[in-house]
Structure 1
Amino acid sequence: MSTILKVDDLVKNFGGLAAVSNVSMQLNDDELVALIGPNGAGKTTVFNLLTGVIVPSSGAITFNGPNGTVPINGMKPYKVADLGLTRTFQNIRLFKNLSVIDNVLIAMTSHYKEGFIQSVFRLPTYYKTEARIRQEAIDLLKIFDLQDDIDVLAKNLPYGIQRRLEIVRGLAMKPKILFLDEPAAGMNPEETADLTRLIRQIQREFHITVLLIEHDMSLVMNLAERIYVLDHGSLLAEGTPDEIQQNDAVIKAYLGEEA
């Protein structure tokens, strides 16, 4: 199993506050990893650093892609996304007044760049490409049972389906790594169970790496192959779900709060 993303001694300071302190971690091809910790532990800050939303104070983030090793420190978010690092957010960020399929099509168009002449004059190749993109979007929506909602405005979908659509939109960008920031937030038990099945399906069918932030420990322990635990911006522990559940420092800092 090869490493696709490597993080070395990552630090982020906000004024005099160290939000992330010397965090090192790695993600391997085709694995599901969870990042957990109490509120304020620095989890979302780490996500923001890894996806280019904010710039590290120090440390190194290295992506090992098909074109070789690329340092992504300070890279703009859209360039990070172009490399194949895609994320969702705690608060759903769909285009609420657009249809389900339009939300997916917007994500897919970054992979299809028609020439200026074809676009302006609507040459046959333009329409062929447009038809191909739409069919790919429909095929993707079918995989996740959203084909009956193609023309529904995103704002009119139930909360759990909106969350599913956001994940599907991330997959439409053909990521190498999918970052899921608290995908079960605000969900009821039935929706959480559906989400668990969805994430398993993503791993099975798309063979991508998933890094998950989540507070629902039953979801994390059922899904994750490895877990990193943050506390006050520092890495407290790393291991398998069984190892994390038996780690005294983790139980004291975090898991014990759930007991």
Structure 2
Amino acid sequence: MSLLQVEKLTKNFGGLAAVSMVDFKLESNELVGLIGPNGAGKTTLFNLLTGVYVPTSGEIVMEIDGKKERLNGVKPYVITKKGLARTFQNIRLFKELTVLDNVLIAMHQNSKAGVLASIFRLPKYYRSEEGMRQEALSLLSIFDLDNKQQELAKNLPYGDQRCLEIVRALATKPKILFLDEPAAGMNPQETADLTKQIRKIQQDFKITVVLIEHDMSLVMDICERIYVLEYGRMIAHGTPGEIKQNPKVIKAYLGGEE
């Protein structure tokens, strides 16, 4: 089966169907785009896949160590441990902590020190802490943030805060990384740099990356496949070339008439 398989996924808020009967699948080691007008249900879909929301109906199934696991209703922290990580449309950093500590917090779920070693500060604990610190600095260096490791997150420029959130997500060792509008608020040069880094991350870490993005040049440039949502329903799926020429997508999102 696919790495992640979604079938007839639906989320109702009262009488409103924010996501309706959505089919969606992800394979290992690919870069996928999710686009659509504002209010189409893109972030709601991310919230369903990462445990923030519980589906009203439908199935979310992930292949983990060769076995199928149903993720409906699983808590977000458990889903993170299973290999799904995300960033948010509105930056959610620990702003009063340092850049380095933001990453280390994300890494501690994978700590191998053990409870006793951590409580009694045994040598294994210090070796584990130093190993995580070096790994965190290596991740920060992807975005040239290692030289800002002791700055408070709130003092970083906006673009760097966006990048730090991506690094923190990578620190959880995901199989799938969901990026919710990673280029939002960035200038053209920052967006161009980010585009290169997203592609490099996907290739170097051999993970699946899914991004919501309104910058069509970014999406068309790096995504292998694209899904299109409108009013909570999936109206198209295909390669960038196919999506550009799809009449439904042109009418709903890209501009123009059928």
- Give TM-score, length-normalised by structure 2: 0.96
Partners of 2:103 and 2:136 within 8 A in 1: yes
Shift of 1:142: 2.0
The SS at the match of 1:230 is strand
Structure-2 separation of matches of 1:106 and 1:116: 16
Matched, 1:224 2:216: no
For 1:139, the equivalent position in structure 2 comes to: 138
Partners of 2:51 and 2:72 within 8 A in 1: yes
Shift of 1:120: 2.1
Q: After superposition, what is the alpha-carbon deviation per residue over 1:164-202, rounded to whole angstroms, capped at 9, x for unaligned?
A: 111011000000000000111111111111110110110
Structure-1 separation of matches of 2:125 and 2:232: 49
Structure-1 separation of matches of 2:186 and 2:138: 26
Partners of 2:176 and 2:208 within 8 A in 1: yes
CA RMSD of aligned residues (A): 1.1
Q: Count residues with an aligned counterpart.
A: 256
Structure-1 separation of matches of 2:42 and 2:115: 42
Could you tell me which amino acid in structure 2 is paired with residue 61 of structure 1? I
The SS at the match of 1:98 is coil
Structure-2 separation of matches of 1:81 and 1:40: 26
The SS at the match of 1:73 is coil
Q: Where do 1:156-195 residues align within 5 Å?
A: 156-195=155-194
The SS at the match of 1:127 is helix
Query: Does 13-22 or 117-126 show the bigger shift?
Result: 117-126
Query: Does 66-75 or 166-175 show the bigger shift?
Result: 66-75
Gaps of 5+ in 2: none
The SS at the match of 1:243 is helix
Shift of 1:130: 1.1
Q: Where do 1:38-53 residues align within 5 Å?
A: 38-53=37-52
Q: After superposition, what is the alpha-carbon deviation per residue over 1:45-91, rounded to whole angstroms, capped at 9, x for unaligned?
A: 10000001001110000011225110001111111111000000001
Structure-1 separation of matches of 2:34 and 2:218: 12
For 2:64, the equivalent position in structure 1 comes to: 65
Shift of 1:242: 0.3
Moved over 2 A (4+): 113-117
Gaps of 5+ in 1: none
Query: Does 143-152 or 232-241 show the bigger shift?
Result: 143-152
For 1:99, the equivalent position in structure 2 comes to: 98
Could you tell me which amino acid in structure 2 is paired with residue 7 of structure 1? V
Query: Does 122-131 or 72-81 show the bigger shift?
Result: 122-131
Partners of 2:112 and 2:128 within 8 A in 1: no
Structure-1 separation of matches of 2:9 and 2:115: 42
Could you tell me which amino acid in structure 1 is paired with residue 231 of structure 2? H
Structure-2 separation of matches of 1:217 and 1:9: 27
For 2:111, the equivalent position in structure 1 comes to: 112
For 2:121, the equivalent position in structure 1 comes to: 122
Q: Where do 1:4-43 residues align within 5 Å?
A: 4-43=3-42
Structure-1 separation of matches of 2:154 and 2:221: 30
Structure-2 separation of matches of 1:47 and 1:79: 16
